[in-house]
Amino acid sequence: MITKTRQKARPFAISRWSVQRKLVLAFWLVSVIPTMIAAELAATTLSEIFDSNVRIWLQESTKIVKDEIGDILHDNARMAKLFLRYTSPPESRQAAKHDRLTADIADATDIDVVALIRVSDNKPVFSTAADDIVKQISLARNTVLQTVQVGGVSTGIVVSTFETTQEGVDYVLLVGTYLDSSFLTSVADVHSLDLRLYLANPDGFSEIFSTQRFEDHPSRIPKDVETAMRSTRQPSEQFTHNYSGLYWPIFNDAGELQGVIFSGLLRHTSLVGLVNQSNLFVLIFVLSSALSLAAGVLVSRRLTKPLRDLSQGVSAVISGDYAHRVEVSGGDELAQLSSTFNHMTERLGELHQLEAQLRRRDRLHALGEVAMGLAHEIRNPLGIIKTATQLLHRRADLPDADKRHLEYVISEVSRINDLITEFLDFAKPNPPLRVVQPARALVEEILGFCAPELATHNIDAQIDDQAPGATLYADARQLKQACLNLIINAIDAMPDGGRLTLGIRSVGDNTVISIADSGQGIPAEMIERIFTPFVTTKASGTGLGLAKVYSIMESHDGSIECASEKEAGATFSLYIPARGEDDEDSHDA
């Protein structure tokens, strides 16, 4: 019993991959470890740089609050000078007028509290705010930031105090500005940034101002943060999953912690949440891997291109296209292989042509042997038939009808004899008697000989000489025969007239005589077969004309080419050596 085992197909088997895919995979595997190391270093560096920039930005954000408080203190001092100019004791006749003026100025300049307090009994003699608010404000020298209850709401206030004496009585001018919703309106629209201000009160520190509201952020300063700031007198950082924050302490001149500024960035609404070491590592690794794969694809495509070209070249050679060449670039082993392939293809083409010539010569040799036997067997009976017919034709007593019939017999026998002679000339051609001669003179002689026939068929003929002084190493009689055969074919291809051009040009060591017509052209499927004996496109042709031309060119160490398109005419080019070997040796010497 025979057991058949089937190997399961593995769609992802590397052995079935193309060379390019294997090179891409190898390139990526080789680069993945260095890519991971580089990604880790780059992610660490970029993360540290980004965190440092975030810290700097948070510090600059806290300065916004400090600068705003400084601006308020400056405005309070500037306006206090104006208030002191118009401040009068209560007993003064101008007191009421000055109080109204002071209230108007305070309202116009957004100053919330202006009060004149007598030092002796700490009693406000004038105030733009309610007495219960003024009583909450401390007049101590270093209490710049304070918290007061306004309508039951803790409100921060920037306090400035100025001592003055009016008519021998000591007073304190109090100027205060609330830190309310109008404070820091310029940064309120930055949704990812939260600026908060905490001020001291009897119960600790409470939030009195905020531009945003983080969900998990406490309304009071964490105790550990407050303790750290009091001991170090330095800002304190705090980072959570939702935000990155910085607590910045505010100390008065006595070194007491009066307030704390918090500056925070939300992670889920800003780049802060995205730019971290893990995310940067993944991003850099993915981008680096993509670049590595792209580079691998480009490099592998460059490396495998000669192999693909060689594969296409082998397929072309297998199909019989020996003119196919692959591109050779560079000087590596693949370039050497491509160059060797081109050389091999060129040699195969030459061997193919040589093989075709040998097969043709073998066929012609066998054809010649057969032709000699047929000529001997056919010509003798034809000679007897022709002689007997001529004797019968000379009898005087024959009727005219019988004489005409005998004339037909004699004519047909002569035509058969000429056909046998033409066939023998093709099968057993005489060797050419070659001499060097001018090409132009030979072409003019051929054209002059054919001029009457061309004129009869309304064909305009001209010579296109692109190589004046060109020579031919040829047998003039055989070359004329070849050209006449081609001209006769051209005449048959232009039954309604046309144009015939005989060209002369030089190509290397050969002189090329071309015969071009404007006739019907030759079908593409016939071009490869037109030089084969007994192949013809004419209804009454023998198919030996072009075969004879091919044989003449071959005996002259030359060649013939045909270029034609349907309804666009045909051009036959005869490549003939310009000089003999002896002439070439003397020319080189």
More confident residue, 118 or 50: 118
Dihedral of CA atoms 372, 373, 378, 383 in degrees, nearest 10, equals: 60
Q: What is the mean pLDDT of residues 273-278?
A: 55
- The winner for highest mean pLDDT among 115-129, 384-398, 401-415 is 115-129
| Enclosing H/E stretch for 167 | none
Task: Check pLDDT > 60 for residue 157.
Answer: yes
* The predicted structure's pLDDT at residue 6: 47
- The winner for highest mean pLDDT among 241-245, 288-292, 404-408, 449-453 is 449-453
Task: Check pLDDT > 80 for residue 232.
Answer: yes
Torsions phi, psi for 346 (to 5 deg):
-60, -45
Supply the DSSP string of 397-413, one letter for each residue. TS-HHHHHHHHHHHHHH
Dihedral of CA atoms 247, 250, 256, 257 in degrees, nearest 10, equals: -30
* The predicted structure's pLDDT at residue 214: 61
pLDDT-based confidence at 351, cuts 50/70/90? confident
CATH, range 333-425: 1.10.287
pLDDT-based confidence at 228, cuts 50/70/90? confident
| Enclosing H/E stretch for 570 | strand 570-577
Q: How far apart are CA 241 and CA 100, in angstroms?
A: 54
pLDDT-based confidence at 547, cuts 50/70/90? confident
Q: Which of 55-69, 180-194, 494-508 is least confident?
A: 180-194
More confident residue, 453 or 333: 453
Among residues 443, 582, 558, 570, which one has the least CA distance to residue 508?
558
Q: How far apart are CA 102 and CA 82, in angstroms?
A: 9
Q: Which of 156-165, 224-233, 335-344 is least confident?
A: 335-344
Structure tokens of 145? 């930031």
Task: Please return the burial class of 198, using the count of CB atoms within 10 Å of its CB with bins 0-12, 13-18 and 19+.
Answer: buried
Task: Check pLDDT > 80 for residue 273.
Answer: no
Separation of CA 508 from chain center: 42
pLDDT-based confidence at 21, cuts 50/70/90? low
Question: Which distant-in-sequence residues (6+ apart) come within 8 Å of 169 by Cβ?
Answer: 89, 118, 120
Task: Check pLDDT > 50 for residue 404.
Answer: yes
Contact 127, 114 (CB under 8 A): yes
Separation of CA 24 from chain center: 19
Please check whether the domain covering 87-179 is classified as CATH 3.30.450.
yes
Question: Which distant-in-sequence residues (6+ apart) come within 8 Å of 390 by Cβ?
Answer: 410
Contact 226, 42 (CB under 8 A): no
End-to-end CA distance of the chain: 82
Contact 187, 264 (CB under 8 A): no
pLDDT-based confidence at 575, cuts 50/70/90? very high
| Enclosing H/E stretch for 382 | helix 333-393
Q: 570-577 and 204-210 as β-strands: parallel, antiparallel, unpaired?
A: unpaired
Question: Which distant-in-sequence residues (6+ apart) come within 8 Å of 55 by Cβ?
Answer: 237, 246
Maximum alpha-carbon separation in the chain: 187
Q: What is the mean pLDDT of residues 318-327?
A: 78
Long-range contacts of 300-305 (CB under 8 A, 24+ apart): 300/19, 300/20, 300/21, 300/23, 300/24, 300/27, 301/20, 303/20, 303/23, 303/334, 304/18, 304/19, 304/20, 304/23
Q: What is the mean pLDDT of residues 279-290?
A: 70
The β-bridge partners of 264 are 194, 245
What is the three-class DSSP state of 496?
coil
pLDDT-based confidence at 284, cuts 50/70/90? low
Q: 459-465 and 498-507 as β-strands: parallel, antiparallel, unpaired?
A: parallel
Contact 446, 480 (CB under 8 A): yes
Q: How far apart are CA 73 and CA 284, in angstroms?
A: 49
Instruction: Count Cβ atoms below 10 Å from residue 500 Cβ, excluding itself.
Output: 24
Q: How far apart are CA 481 and CA 460, in angstroms?
A: 21
Q: Among residues of the chain, what percentage have pLDDT more than 90? A: 4
Q: 193-201 and 169-179 as β-strands: parallel, antiparallel, unpaired?
A: unpaired
Contact 471, 506 (CB under 8 A): no
Torsions phi, psi for 303 (to 5 deg):
-75, -35
Q: Do domains 333-425 and 431-588 have the same CATH topology?
A: no
Residue in the block written with tokens 């005989």: 502
CATH, range 431-588: 3.30.565.10
Residue count of the chain, please give it: 589
* The predicted structure's pLDDT at residue 2: 41
- The winner for highest mean pLDDT among 184-193, 283-292, 512-521 is 512-521
Q: Among residues of the chain, what percentage have pLDDT more than 70? A: 71
Question: Where do the domains of the chain lie?
Answer: 16-86+276-313, 87-179, 333-425, 431-588
Task: Check pLDDT > 50 for residue 430.
Answer: yes
Q: Which of 82-86, 418-422, 517-521, 563-567 is least confident?
A: 418-422
Question: Which distant-in-sequence residues (6+ apart) come within 8 Å of 470 by Cβ?
Answer: 438, 439, 440, 504, 505, 506, 511, 578
Return the HEC string of 176-198: EEEECCCCCHHHCCCCCEEEEEE
pLDDT-based confidence at 502, cuts 50/70/90? very high
Q: How far apart are CA 354 and CA 356, in angstroms?
A: 5
Quote the mean pLDDT of the chain. 76
* The predicted structure's pLDDT at residue 1: 41
Task: Check pLDDT > 70 for residue 24.
Answer: no
Task: Check pLDDT > 50 for residue 272.
Answer: no
Q: What is the mean pLDDT of residues 312-331?
A: 78
* The predicted structure's pLDDT at residue 514: 92
| Enclosing H/E stretch for 11 | none
pLDDT digits (tens, 9 = 90+) for 96-134: 777 787 788 888 888 888 888 888 888 888 888 888 888
Contact 74, 304 (CB under 8 A): no
Contact 543, 536 (CB under 8 A): yes
* The predicted structure's pLDDT at residue 355: 76
Torsions phi, psi for 376 (to 5 deg):
-65, -40
Task: Check pLDDT > 80 for residue 161.
Answer: yes
pLDDT digits (tens, 9 = 90+) for 289-316: 777 777 767 776 666 677 777 777 788 8
* The predicted structure's pLDDT at residue 116: 86
Q: How far apart are CA 200 and CA 204, in angstroms?
A: 6
